[in-house]
A = this chain, B = another copy of it.
Amino acid sequence: MTKKESGFSVNPWEVSGKIDYDKLVKEFGVQLIDDKMITLIKNLTKKELSPMLRRRIFFAHRDLKPILDEYKKGNKFFLYTGCGPSGPIHLGHLGTWVFTKWLQDAFDVELWFQFTDDEKFLFKDKSYEEIQEWTYQNMLDVIALGFDPKKTHFLVDTKHANLLYPEAIKVAKKITFSTVKGAFGFDDSRNIGEIFYTSMQAAPVIVPCVLKKKKIPCLIPLAIDQDPHFRVARDVYPKLGYPKPAIIHGMFLPPLTGNEGKMSSSNANVAILTTDTEEEVKKKINKYAFSGGRDTLEEHRKLGGNPDVDVCFQYLKFLFEPDDKKLEQIYRDYKSGKMLSGELKSYTIEKINSFLKEHQKKREEAKKLVETFLYKG
């Protein structure tokens, strides 16, 4: 489906327009997470269900059932997710990782975390050195989220190429340029590193199996724009003797400007960075956060606001208000006109700043932990 036809575009290198997730589910051929699946997960984990599952922010999947059935039998999966290091981390990055941490804790499993420095170097007009610096900076944010260092292994594509490249070429041998063209819309003017890259992103599904000399099932939490990589690779794994990975797909945190596209660090005005000060957060939310409120106080009190398009409400729903009752109350109060836009903004600013204060402290402490997280093998 082209953007022209659907009004939006979702692929690893572009997320734009107003995303219709129902259409996307059909287009990508993924399954919605239903109540039965939620119950299955609840029964398998001791921990309280992640708000992101309760609220269906992680809303779709591929092959999740068989991996959970295996887990029930005592056959643990490992988690694999990643980060494309080309700029500062913003709130939009955190959703997948916060959810991944929940999965790690709830299922007590290993996590392989890939930093795709090669991808960002190949696709962006940035120098190798700049990408290396962002790789380091982004690691600090990931570590700050509290992953278990004993069960979390960082793979950096250029630093762990000895592990990744041999598996990547096995995947690559079974993917033609025609396939990649179809999946990503590439043409002949693409550089040959971009064309090869999807096989590097496919490799971490195999690497832990090779290292531990056994076939371990893999669960990949990702934002749904990354799905095309695995759509290309997933048929290849069985040909190489490995199980297809399961995937669980998340929605995009909207940018400050409203419910189109996703938060991105290419425009600092539409993103809240993890390194922003309290004042910056306050200013960005107050100045840029798209509001579902009415034009005047009178109108708002009378007609009520629209929380479904209000960016602050979305941030609370995605990440910053884990209490369902509190969130529902805000929804009702805002919709009825009892809660004003300014109040919703203040509440959200406070929540974000409280999170960032702690995050920034842990981010500093993370500097001592980078070596611990980097896989040594």
A193 touches B172 (CB 8 A): yes
How many whole Å from A10's CB to the nearest CB in chain B? Answer: 22
Contacts of A189 in B (CB 8 A): 176-178
**Contact A176–B191 (Cβ < 8 Å):** yes
Within 8 A of B (CB), among A72-101: none
A161 within 8 A of B: yes
A165-B118, A196-B196 known; A174+B159 contact, CB < 8 A: no
User: Besides the contacts A121-B170, A176-B189, A192-B199, what 17 more A-B pairs have beta carbons closer than 8 Å?
Assistant: A118-B166, A121-B169, A121-B173, A122-B169, A122-B173, A158-B166, A158-B169, A161-B162, A161-B165, A172-B191, A173-B191, A175-B191, A176-B188, A192-B195, A192-B196, A195-B195, A195-B196
Cβ contacts A to B, 12 pairs, < 8 Å: A121-B170, A128-B166, A165-B165, A172-B196, A173-B193, A176-B189, A176-B191, A177-B192, A178-B188, A180-B192, A195-B196, A196-B196
CB within 8 Å for A199 and B188 given contacts A162-B159, A165-B161: no
Cross-chain contact of A170 among B128, B168, B180, B190 (Cβ < 8 A):
B128
Give CA–CA (A195, B199) in the complex, Å: 12
Contact residues of A: prevailing secondary structure: helix
Chain A interfacial positions (CB closer than 8 Å to B)? 118, 121-122, 128, 157-162, 164-166, 168-170, 172-178, 180-181, 186, 188-193, 195-196, 198-199
Known: A166-B158, A173-B122. A199 touches B193 (CB 8 A): yes
CA distance A186 to B195 in the complex (A): 14
Residues from chain B with Cβ under 8 Å of A118 in the complex: 165-166, 169
Q: Are A176 and B192 in contact (CB under 8 A)?
A: yes
Which residue in B122, B157, B160, B172 is a CB contact (below 8 Å) of A192? B172
Complex-state Cα separation, A190 to B176, whole angstroms = 5
Q: Give chain B residues whose Cβ lies under 8 Å from the Cβ of A191.
A: 172-177
Task: A165 to B199: give the CA distance in the assembly, Å.
Answer: 13
A183 CB → nearest B CB, Å: 11
Closest Cβ of chain B to A171, distance in Å, is 8
Collect the chain B residues with CB atoms within 8 Å of residue A161's CB.
Answer: 161-162, 164-166
**Assembled-state Cα–Cα distance A177/B191 (Å):** 6
Find out whether the CB atom of B170 lies under 8 angstroms from the CB atom of A192: no
Q: A193 to B169, Cβ gap below 8 A?
A: yes
Nearest-CB residue, chain B, relative to A171: B193
Q: Which residues of chain B have C-beta atoms less than 8 A from A169's C-beta?
A: 118, 121-122, 158, 193
State the CA gap A192–B173 with chains docked (Å).
7
Report if A175-B199 is in contact (Cβ < 8 Å); known contacts: A161-B165, A162-B162. no
- Residue on B with the closest CB to A164? B161
CA A193 to CA B118, docked complex, whole Å? 15
A121 to B172 CA separation, bound complex (whole angstroms) = 11
Report the minimum CB–CB distance from A229 to chain B (whole Å). Answer: 12
Using Cβ atoms and an 8 Å threshold, which residues of chain B touch A196?
172, 192-193, 195-196
Chain B contacts for A168, CB-based, 8 A? 193
Question: Which B residue sits closest to A232, measured CB to CB?
Answer: B192
Complex CA–CA separation, A176 to B172 (angstroms) = 18
Could you tell me the distance between the alpha carbons of A189 and B166 in the complex, rounded to whole angstroms? 22
